[in-house]
Amino acid sequence: MKKNTVFDCSIVDLSKVHSDVGNITIVENNDYLPFAVKRIYYLYDVPGGEDRGGHAHYELEQYIVAASGSFDVVLDDSKNKQKLSLNRPYLALHIVPGIWRELNNFSSGSVCLVLASHEYDEKDYIRDYNAFLKYKK
Ligand code: TYD
């Protein structure tokens, strides 16, 4: 986890079942998912200009999906930074453990859906950026 870099994170095409009456994207604990989902949560009603995230995890990995609208994710492994814009409900950003992330530029009405590999555990968070840099050394 310590050695993970932003290049270990990737955009995964979850694909969609298209029809004239709307689309559907399915996520199952199968080949598309490199971890079993233990928790789902979603962020919404984020006021314009607000930032979320600002932490890393020791063990947790996640799929992050712009279920509606758009937002940006800045990934940081202490040496490299990468900014991605999420704006398609069939694309997931896989964030591996040991990566600092910040989410910003939320569009009005956007929904950030998160599939997580573990239940909530505050002990798994690194919330101090200097502590993160020290961990990654
Ligand atoms: P946090 O993970 O810091 O939010 P973000 O990274 O999106 O800015 O969580 C915000 C608050 O919500 C914090 O007090 C912890 C709480 N929380 C839970 O209780 N359970 C959860 O599964 C999550 C994700 C957060």
Neighbour tally for 77: CB within 10 Å: 22
Could you identify the atom of ligand 1 that is nearest to the CA of residue 51? 8
* Contacts with 59 (C-beta within 8 Å, 6 or more apart), sequence order: 1, 97, 117, 118, 124
Residue written as token pair 């002990």: 123
Is the CB of 43 inside a 6 Å radius of any atom of ligand 1?
A: yes
Mutate to test the pocket of ligand 1, among 37, 46, 52 (most ligand atoms within 8 A of CB): 52
pLDDT at 32 over 80: no
* Contacts with 60 (C-beta within 8 Å, 6 or more apart), sequence order: 97, 116, 117, 118, 121, 124
Mutate to test the pocket of ligand 1, among 41, 46, 61, 102 (most ligand atoms within 8 A of CB): 41
Q: Identify the active-site residue in 55, 57, 94, 118.
A: 55
Would you call 17 helix, strand, or coil by DSSP? strand
Which pLDDT score, from 0 to 100, does residue 30 have?
Answer: 79
**pLDDT tens, position by position, 104-121:** 999 999 999 999 999 999
Annotated catalytic residue 118: no
**Residue 2 pLDDT grade (very low, low, confident, very high; cuts 50, 70, 90):** confident
* Contacts with 67 (C-beta within 8 Å, 6 or more apart), sequence order: 42, 89, 111, 112, 113
**Exposure on the CB side of residue 41, measured as CA atoms within 13 A:** 8
CA of 102 to the centre of ligand 1 (A): 13
**pLDDT tens, position by position, 37-90:** 999 999 999 999 999 999 999 999 999 999 999 999 999 999 999 999 999 999
Report which protein residue has its CA nearest ligand 1's atom 23: 120
Is the CB of 69 inside a 6 Å radius of any atom of ligand 1?
A: no
